Structure 1
Amino acid sequence: MSTAAANSLASLLTQTSLDDHEVLKAANAEIKKSKTDLNAHHARAVALLKLDRFEDAAAVFRDIEGLQQKAPFEYAYALYKTGDAAKAVKVAQAQGATGGRGTKHVLAQAAYRSESFAQAMNIYRELANQGIEDEEYDIRINSGAVDAQLEWDGQGELAQKKKPTREDLEVFETAYNAACGSIARGELAQGEVCLKRAISLCNALEDLSDEEKAAEIMPMTVQHIYILTQLGRTDEAEQLADTLPITEIKELSTRYIAQVNKIAASKDLANPYLSHRLFHSSPKPSKTDQHFSFQTNLLRQDEYVMSLLTQKTAGVALSTEKVISAAPAPTLSPAVNMAAVLNAAAHTRNVANEKAALKEILPVLEKRPGDVGLILTVTHLYVLTGNHAAATQLLESFFKRLEQSGSATDLDVRFAPGLIATLVSLYAQQGRPGASRSELSKAAEYWRKPHKSETAAPSKALMVAAATALLDTHNAENTKLAGEIFKGLHDQDDEDRAAIAGLVAAYSITDPDNLPQDLVAYLPEPSRLISDIDAAALEDAGVPIGTLATTSVAHNPLTSSAGAESRKRAATKSVPSKAKRIRKARMPKDFDPDKKMDAERWLPMRDRSYYRPRGKKGKKRADGLTQGGAVSEDKGSPAPQVQKAGGGGNKKNKKKGKK
């Protein structure tokens, strides 16, 4: 490229009011003169990106050697916009410290799109700390979106905000993100409030046209239908779904979800065959508009369920088998384990009850003993049939096999919080608190160790449950371990009330003199906790007097009368039961209604409690026949006669022998 041509192109690019089409035209002219001119190719790629011709820009980077190294920022942005977010992350990360602020924004966006939400959160936190005023608004919106996705992805403990603030409800974008975060946490009522606030703020904007407002409100309406359906307000959900113009939604991913939500909310679409046809009539999203993995799993699950309802069991069994066989076992992948559950449902072929389903599924479990989803399905069926012992034994044997393998991935599955919670629930159902504490403590000890895998992270709920169970043992060593667990949780989040309460409880036992008073200040005052408790009313209602030990003695009929003082007071005064009316046809002629009937009148006289035999012989006979009574040693009393087998008692029938 000549110096004059280079200067003309440079002067052309410095004109800020220049149209991108003119830049593209000038760059193409320079490329015709010199096909190896990287500056011209660079200008052409930038012009294509500004014209939203992302596929063409990505093709330029693929075809021109050396351009990727010359313009890594633009290359990463082109990859991100063409749907290759994972590769965009690698390109942006390769720049390291040399990458500017724009590269960090691209990296954060690509990490978010590739579902590396923790990485995106760290980048946005770093950008927010730098305090660039022009970017504060955008960073706050994007950070709220990342928090919502962390909640959906099961990493809610990493989210920066756990509850919507007043600041979040000032702009419709942040209010919508706050609503999504609340829905992901299961706080549907709070999510509906934030969602209505977002719609109201969007409608109040003056710088948006009516069409732009409608485009912004449509995804919020789809989310509102989901909330109403989950809350059981199906009539409201159906009415709102009928007003939604689904075909006008430009984003195909949102349109697809809107169609599914409308099917779920509609009473007219109860016919599974009609629902199946409408479900598959929605257009599939493009590569650049894909659903997140949790959405894809739910949509695939809906598809399998509709196929089962339309009697397509063979097809479901075949397709789910492919998903299961393509992944290593055991695995914690939600998609694989969901496929295993539906594969089991396909094998049952809509049987009548749980026992019949077990009969069909147990042979499948023998073929796939490491299938987590199948094991949980069989466990659930055992629980439904009341066989908790078999469910417990199934999980225990599975855990034992994983421990014996020694593999890091197998151990991650072994101590997965969901599986631990399932086994602990079974132990609680069987009244085995010791086994529950042992299982929780082993899981806590495992997750406190460093792990090589980036995806392996301890569950906050699991750690809190384990530390609480250790505190309940009142053992010095266990209490110390519980304090260490709560200390680690407090270091992660110094405003976590569960960690603060556990840390104070552990300190009060192990080292009460050095109890940090600043932690105590976080906890509510005891007077507030008991302000609405009426001790006198509780005592009148039947509070046991004395300790548990004396109460148990009082209920033991073999103990002495000393424990009678600790008996429980009656909660209310005993009300005499209303006498049962007897029909006149069943009354005897001399029946007196004022006379109390004998409760033992149906028993023989000798079996009644008030029966006393008369005469000396009768009294002695009664004493001898009383079970547990004293044995009479009177020689005059007749001894019981024992007859020999085969011996006859009638002497008349006995023949005389010869003398």
Structure 2
Amino acid sequence: MPSDVVGFEKAYCEYRLNRMENALKTIEATSEKSCKLQELYGQVLYRLENYKECLDVYQDLLRNSQDDYDEERRTNLSAAHASLALWIVFFQEELGIPENTYELCYNAACTLIGQGKMKEGLEKLKNILCRQSLTEDPDVAEEELQDELSVIHVQMAYVLQQQGFNDEAMQLYSQVVKGRPSDVGPLAVAANNIVTLNKDQNIFDSKKKIKLTCSEGVENKLSKRQQRAVNLNRALLAMHTHQVGCFGWVSALVTLYNHQEDINAAVGVLNEATWWYQKHEYLYFQPGSAVYLRLMKESANYKIRHNRENEAVADLEQLWKQNPEDMKTLAQLISAYSQLDAQKAKKLSKYLPETDCISLKVDVDQLENSYGVTHMRKRNVKPTENQLQPQAELGKKKKQKKKKKGKLPKSFDPSNGPDPERWLPMKERSYYRGKRKTKKKEQIGKGTQGSTTGGAAELDASKGVSSPPASPQPGSGGASNVVPPRQQKPSTAGTKKKAKKKKGGKGGW
């Protein structure tokens, strides 16, 4: 397999995996660059935002290629030209490419916008007949058509916003967001620009819109300049909503290092945090803000707890300079200097207020007449012998509980000991004889339906019978002595058992 084919396949896989740096190295390492590899080279350069080199690659391809893909190359060439004008410099060179497709017309409009010609760019965007040109092709789906329209609408809204027509721009942005195109690029741009129009108003709507800029794959659709603008707007929105989420990291790191008994690392985190806030305080907070002062105070307290007074002195001095009336900070500073420099501590102690100023004015008579403490705790005093004697007498008077004898079974014979086999199951005991087999008195329920054992002798044909009974003559009042089976009763039914009377219970019938 030729080296250019292997190089193209490898570079294309890296391009599809968004590994642009690796794809660029693979292409540059390939000695023979075919036309197909040059096309991929231009795409990689465009994604890496090397628009000038990308422009040269596509111009070379248009000069040296002879196939049916010149229209796609012109489109990519115009896209690189427009990006160069938008993001890098005001590129004034004209390409001279006919604008016979809506892509070429859109790229030309973006070039005008990048050159600062907002009115001309807006007019060109309005003249793009995207819907008419796309609907002529039956292979284009409605979803793809909406994606193309959303790109044009976002660009038009941006131009209107730059010209000061914020209401019209907001209407177009909202239309794109409600349509939810499948392409996350224009959706993220529209949501970000809505946040910029809202500014510090309508914060709830801005918080909902800013989430659309965090969708999966957005970083591959936006340029570095666009990503930087989106991240800045996220930070500004978090500042307006007081949701700066980095305060907890300092305390979390200090706590972790403290558990590991790495005091040097914990102090280093505190020093780095105080230095950062001191350097960037003008960006995020007012001078002497509560956040900065709180951080300095916690840093000083942590250093004092771990016997680092020489490092805590600098933090305490800055705190005292911010608020000279804070006597607690001054007292901590004097206490720290007393272990380092006694002369400095004595000099600072002059700033402490005199005892006459801090003495409390107490009315002694009122204090004595007050109710005082309603409950006093008893002191743990050892009891005397006189106190122990009554307690001993009380202990004697208490009746001792009698131990109850265990209950014996009724069949227990005191002369004979308990059965040694009582712990074994009944079937395993030596005197077990098994259950008695009881014969059934009568076999009830056998035979044909309705028959009984009482008539078996009469139905036995083996026994000799002299002559069958004569049937009654018609008109005689006699009847047969044989009772039909359904009217027979069993022979044992002669003795009736007396039914026991039930006691009437509650709710009984």
- Shorter-chain TM-score: which interval? 0.3 to 0.5
Does 1 or 2 have the higher relative contact order (CA < 8 Å, sep 6+)?
A: 2
Structure with higher Rg: it is 2
Task: Provide the TM-score with structure 2 as the length reference.
Answer: 0.45
| Greater fraction helix | 1
